[in-house]
Structure 1
Amino acid sequence: MNMQKRLWWDAAVAVSVLACAFLVWLDTAFDHAMPKNALGALLALAAFAVAYGVFGRWLIGRPHPVASQVYLGVVVVITAVGCAADPNIAVLQAIAYPLIGCFAPVGFFGMLAWDVLLALGVFVGLAAGPAGATAAAITAVLSFLFAVAIGLWILRITHWGLERARLLSEVQKAQQQAAVSARDAGAARERERLARDMHDTVAQSLTGLVMLAERAQRQASAPTGAGELPDTLATIEDAARETLREIRSLVAETTTPSVDDGLAEAARRVVQRFARETGIAASIEFDAVVPQREHEVVLLRCLQEGLANVRKHARAATAAATLRSVGDTVVLEVVDDGVGVAGVVDDEEGFGLAGMRERVRMFGGTVALRPAPGGGARLTVSVPSGSGAAAVDPSVADIVEHAVDDEASVRTAHEGGAA
């Protein structure tokens, strides 16, 4: 960055010095009415260029207040001496005032003090030379006023930029905090749901197994209970298999499949696994949908949740999922022929729609659960596609990715407890 700044200053100083040298040569060659010291003017220009090349250029971007003040003093003296030799050297003010803005102490008054010193130097130099006091005063005052006006404008822009950067930093911090809060809240809700489901299913089944085991123990120790023991053991076996099925069902609901090989292939695996584990005839159809990765994760999670609702509530014989593009929207539908729903279902905990709606809402989408024509239920999830919608906020993408990670962590803990 400092190198880029130096290149710009190199070009500005070179143009200013060459312009002054050209004016000095032009006046010397064609204007003999006013006596001038061309040699002194050219020496002043050379000194100006050398001072910048050796001293000023090195100071750009480096915090050396004392050295910067010394360099500005050299600039003022060289400009004053040059103006005394030839009034055309006053053109150096075009670069001398910006150099003051670059090296002067921070703040308006520090810059103003050096502007005053440069204006006085130009006035003294012009007044001592062939220009005369009147022309010197007019030139110095006009240049000074213009430099101050430009300086105030630059300071205003600088302060505005710093304030904007501060506000932007605060907004980014607020977004990060909101992302962390949303991620933690989502993980907490997922854990609560898992705990509730385990209490309602696995815990109850295990309690029944304990009671059956106690009964089997009493029957084994009782002289008259030996004949009933085989039936009790068969019941224990059936209850254990049912508990294992419930655990596998819970694990399947909390697993988010990989989308590395594409949304279509991942969705097909989810449907095939659902059909294999439940015995429900399931199918999926899709067209050429290529959403962003964040959309893929959300749509897959919604497909899982929709099939989990069919598994737990629908008592259906068939289920069909479709994934298609409708304009700038990706639409996922899960339809079953089960018991259906009584009108539109809102955020009922048993259906898991609250978490699904929250995920989809992050991407500007909607979720609807309504009765299907001819019986059953129809779940519809609509999400703006990546091509037709604005880019996803990084904080939102971060929430989704961390939510998936948290669900995987919960799943791992669950599987470890089940084992």
Structure 2
Amino acid sequence: MSATADPGQHEWHRLAVGWHIAFAVLAVTTAVLIVLDPPLSGGERVLGVALVGVFAGWYPLAGARLLRAPRSRSGWWYVGVAVALTIAVAAVSPAGTVLLFVLFPQVWAMLPVRQAVLGTTVAVAGIGTVFALRYQDPASVLVSAGLALVCAVGVGLWISRIIDQSAQRARLVAELDATRAELAAVSREAGALAERERIARDIHDTVAQGFTSVLLLLDALEADFTNEELARGYLQRARDTARDNLAEARSLIAAATPPALRSASLPAALQLVVDRIGPDLPGGATLTVEGEPRPLPAELEIVALRAGQEALANVRRHARASRVEVLLQYRSGILALRIGDDGQGFDAEQRPAGFGLAGLRERVTTAGGSVMVRTAPGAGVTVDVELPT
């Protein structure tokens, strides 16, 4: 079917073979009835059968093709000849009215509604005129023709309604398919965007911060290069951080669980992070666990670990703190994490530059949790994270 075709014609396409068979059966039936019509002379029988034969040839030549096409004015070429042949056959023998059973459905299938009403009226009026002249009983013929016209138009409108409903359903299906395709495209784009944001957060919370730690350690190594024992310590810590960074990068590529959580619990993984930052602070770093640790969904533990990594990385980079304390609490239905330092703090009214706190907040809120940051210039920073379990 072409792009401009009426989708409702599909119903006629599906029934096309049935219409062909019905036409053949009724054409043969009409011819047989004409041959068996006693009042007819031999010449009239030949003429009647010949007209039926012309109709039977005109149908496959033009009607079968138009029956499969959208309803249009071009159907008049076929319908006009078909109506004329039907009236001519009825003029020869009343048996010609049998052809109306295939003529009317064809009229309504091929023509728009108003033109189909006109075609039906012409056919009924023509046959009614023929019968009125033959039987000399105009009143009876008028009543019969009126009833036939009402029935034919009623059936035709019913057929037209079926076509229109089928067209409407086809359009709705097409619109639904288009909408489904658009939604799928939007979903793919949203998924890709979410994945890019996730990777950006993970890179920021792990690889980027790891490189920052390595740079800080190398700077410290350069400052104390003459102290061989201290330099070796800085170098070993830089090597360990780089090795952890490599493991984190491989984990990101594989979209797997962070290495720290693969073989350890959340408290143990956080302890590793705290131990890593402790030597960089004069007063050290501590982790306190309250409540009974319990297994939680991996996604939730990853969010908590990443939040701790981000907050501690901010302490290392910006806080100028001497000490940091981390509190992990297992409450009823809540996993809480608090990171507090005694550093320089910042103005809470001013939005801090960088991706850190914004990425932390987005990661936690995406998991259904909340983040509260309390700080003031010179008063340190406390980050409270709560995640529903």
Q: Smaller-chain TM-score range?
A: 0.5 to 0.7
Rounded Cα–Cα distance in structure 2 between residues aligned with 1:194 and 1:237:
24
| Equivalent residues of 2:16, 2:67 under 8 A apart | yes
> TM-score when scaled to structure 1?
0.57
Q: 1:118 to 1:341 in 2, by over 3 A?
A: farther
Rounded Cα–Cα distance in structure 2 between residues aligned with 1:12 and 1:148:
20
Q: How does 1:19-418 map to 2 (within 5 A)?
A: 19-28=29-38, 37-62=44-69, 68-104=75-111, 106=112, 108-130=113-135, 132-220=137-225, 224-226=226-228, 228-252=230-254, 254-255=255-256, 278-280=262-264, 306-307=297-298, 309=300, 341-345=330-334, 349-350=363-364, 353=367
Q: What displacement does 1:57 show?
A: 2.7
Q: Any idea what the Cα deviations from partners look like across 1:9-28, whole Å, max 9, x if unmatched?
A: 32121121122233334442
Q: 1:278 to 1:44 in 2, by over 3 A?
A: closer
Rounded Cα–Cα distance in structure 1 between residues aligned with 2:136 and 2:105:
24
Q: 1:177 to 1:137 in 2, by over 3 A?
A: same
Q: What displacement does 1:149 show?
A: 0.6
Q: 1:95 to 1:349 in 2, by over 3 A?
A: same
Rounded Cα–Cα distance in structure 2 between residues aligned with 1:122 and 1:182:
63
Over the residues paired in the alignment, what is the CA RMSD in angstroms?
4.0
Q: 1:206 to 1:219 in 2, by over 3 A?
A: same
Name the structure 1 match of 2:27.
17
Q: 1:354 to 1:164 in 2, by over 3 A?
A: farther
SS in structure 2 of the partner of residue 228 of structure 1 = helix
| Equivalent residues of 1:100, 1:114 under 8 A apart | yes
SS in structure 1 of the partner of residue 240 of structure 2 = helix
Give the count of matched residue pairs. Answer: 285
Q: 1:187 to 1:17 in 2, by over 3 A?
A: same
Q: What displacement does 1:177 show?
A: 3.1
Q: 1:89 to 1:138 in 2, by over 3 A?
A: farther
Rounded Cα–Cα distance in structure 2 between residues aligned with 1:190 and 1:21:
75
Q: What displacement does 1:209 show?
A: 0.8
Rounded Cα–Cα distance in structure 2 between residues aligned with 1:180 and 1:65:
37
Larger deviation, residues 194-203 vs 90-99: 194-203
Larger deviation, residues 128-137 vs 92-101: 128-137
* Residue of 1, 15, 18 corresponding to 1:8: 18
Rounded Cα–Cα distance in structure 2 between residues aligned with 1:67 and 1:209:
82
Rounded Cα–Cα distance in structure 1 between residues aligned with 2:129 and 2:201:
89
Q: What displacement does 1:180 show?
A: 3.1
> TM-score when scaled to structure 2?
0.60
Q: What displacement does 1:278 show?
A: 3.2
| Equivalent residues of 1:80, 1:124 under 8 A apart | no
Q: 1:135 to 1:47 in 2, by over 3 A?
A: farther
SS in structure 2 of the partner of residue 129 of structure 1 = helix
Gaps of 5+ in 1: 256-269, 282-304, 315-338, 356-367, 371-419
SS in structure 1 of the partner of residue 250 of structure 2 = helix
| Equivalent residues of 1:101, 1:111 under 8 A apart | yes
Q: What displacement does 1:67 show?
A: 5.6
Q: What displacement does 1:78 show?
A: 1.5
Rounded Cα–Cα distance in structure 1 between residues aligned with 2:203 and 2:14:
63
SS in structure 1 of the partner of residue 331 of structure 2 = coil
Q: 1:160 to 1:103 in 2, by over 3 A?
A: closer
Q: What displacement does 1:148 show?
A: 0.5
Q: What displacement does 1:249 show?
A: 3.7
Q: 1:194 to 1:33 in 2, by over 3 A?
A: closer
User: For residue 163 of structure 1, what is the amino acid of its counterpart?
Assistant: Q
User: For residue 137 of structure 1, what is the amino acid of its counterpart?
Assistant: L
Gaps of 5+ in 2: 1-9, 266-295, 306-327, 336-360, 370-386
Rounded Cα–Cα distance in structure 2 between residues aligned with 1:75 and 1:33:
23
| Equivalent residues of 1:36, 1:85 under 8 A apart | no
- Larger Rg computed on CA atoms: 2
Q: 1:55 to 1:278 in 2, by over 3 A?
A: closer
User: For residue 81 of structure 1, what is the amino acid of its counterpart?
Assistant: A
User: For residue 215 of structure 2, what is the amino acid of its counterpart?
Assistant: V
Q: Any idea what the Cα deviations from partners look like across 1:322-378, whole Å, max 9, x if unmatched?
A: xxxxxxxxxxxxxxxxx88423359994497469xxxxxxxxxxxx985xxxxxxxx
| Equivalent residues of 2:303, 2:364 under 8 A apart | no
